[in-house]
Amino acid sequence: MTGAEEKVNDKRKFGGNLWSAERKILARAFELKAAQELQSLLIEKIAILPETSSDQIKPFQIGAHDLFRAMASSETSLADLKVALRRYTGATGYQMAIGLDESVRYRLDGSVDAPVSDDNREHARTIVKRRFAKMRQSHVGAKDTQVRERANSGT
């Protein structure tokens, strides 16, 4: 299991349920960097963007893209804003937060907006499961390569 997977996959705390509603998905280095990049393009501070590794990732309300566009600085291109939004919302941690049982979306001020739809939740879970499977496959492949290299070198 990779370090990233371990951080979001500690099933002991949640009775073996990866998607437990009690689970809080905390920002990792990638999400923090993506959040900082997104925030740097805006003229207003966004309350729900994580700033530290102890901050919870909170899914945006539907239609947040339009709100971000209205808050973009005059130097920010629409393309840059789209890339930054895609990077943050496409992050595994963000997808995990959407996939949790009973997950909700948040307004940019931090207040609760609405529950995540079942379709959005299932889509996010599918994305996360594929990524974890790919990480496990890469990890196993790397171990197999190490074993073959050791065997070939005689150590």
DSSP state of 56: B
DSSP 44: S
Q: pLDDT tens track of the chain, all 155 residues?
A: 445 444 454 555 656 788 999 999 999 999 999 999 999 999 999 999 999 999 999 999 999 999 999 999 999 999 999 999 999 999 999 999 999 999 999 999 999 999 999 999 999 999 999 999 998 888 765 556 565 666 666 65
Tell whether domain 3-153 is in CATH 3.40.190.10.
Answer: no
Question: What pLDDT score was predicted for residue 138?
Answer: 82
